Amino acid sequence: MERGARSSGERADDYRRPSRPEEDVRREWEARLKRNKLLALIFVLVAIFGSIGWALYHAAGDINSSVASELGPTTGDAPAQALGSFHLINSRLSEGGKAELLMISALGCDGCAAERWALIKALGRFGTFKQLASDANGSSVPAFDLLNAQYSSYFVSFANKEIRDVNGNALQRLTVREHSIFKRYDPNGRLPFVVVGNYAMAGHGVSPDALAGLKFRDVQSALIANKHALFSREINAEANLITAFLCRADGGQPSVFCGRAPIRRIAARL
């Protein structure tokens, strides 16, 4: 009986225990909800930054359209001279109603390899590349391989011709129009030869010396991370200059790039 009495007493005490106020329960529920939301937000941020870090880590080893079009931010770098190594010509190059960029180069050409970095960065602002590869092409300078690359853009037309292989043998043939332009504005056959709108350059705007002996991944990583190196400043300055040429030729489109202050400042000097 005594044992049973104790049990009855416990139940009676439980019944008489006052219930928690409804306001306390509500506050605890709201606090728990806030904690859960905060944890969910932290989880999402960790996932986002983790994926960005993963992409940046692997970007230096993967060549694709997104990497090619994002070789670092638009910097304030500009050539010392208003036109860099380019000069004004008396005709405007265009194809299919679009501003055209023509590059004639050769495999094994150090200056050509160096110039491709700026060219790829500039063109990536106006369109996308497919089937890009990385290859020194017989040069001591790491570079993009444009032999099988395809470029598509609403604003710009791009033609690239590698006229000689690493052994000096003929490789890609110029069209009649390209041959005429080459002979007219580069009679000495200096490479690379680049024409953008009504500006032409026979020679290179990016010095290959600072790039010689580096690995492709080193150069690409430096550009993506915007590291302050001599070669990155030269590549960014040349890319900005080519961008300004294209913006001037196509009416300032796309404005997301053509409207940026560094590009406008360079364009104002042309």
Q: 80 near 171, Cβ under 8 Å? A: no
Cα–Cα–Cα angle for 145, 146, 150, rounded to 5 degrees? 135
What percent of the chain has a predicted confidence (pLDDT) above 70? Answer: 74
Average pLDDT, the chain: 81
Question: Taking the domains of the chain in order of start, what are their residue ranges?
Answer: 2-58, 65-269
Better-predicted residue by pLDDT, 43 or 265 = 265
- Rounded to whole angstroms, how far apart are CA atoms 81 and 84? 5
Q: What is the pLDDT of residue 219?
A: 92
pTM value is 0.74
The length of the chain in residues reads 270
pLDDT per residue as tens digits for the range 22-57: 666 566 656 666 666 565 556 545 444 444 443 443
Q: What is the pLDDT of residue 32?
A: 65
Q: What is the pLDDT of residue 59?
A: 38
Cα(first)–Cα(last) distance of the chain, in Å?
A: 107
Q: What is the mean pLDDT of residues 235-239?
A: 97
- Rounded to whole angstroms, how far apart are CA atoms 222 and 212? 15
Query: DSSP assignment of 80-130, as one string?
Result: SSTTTT-EE-SS--EETTEEEEEEEE-TT-HHHHHHHHHHHHHHTTTSEEE
Residue owning tokens 């040069």 = 139
pLDDT per residue as tens digits for the range 166-218: 999 999 999 999 999 999 999 999 999 999 989 999 999 999 999 999 999 89
Q: What is the mean pLDDT of residues 153-164?
A: 95
Q: What is the mean pLDDT of residues 230-238?
A: 95
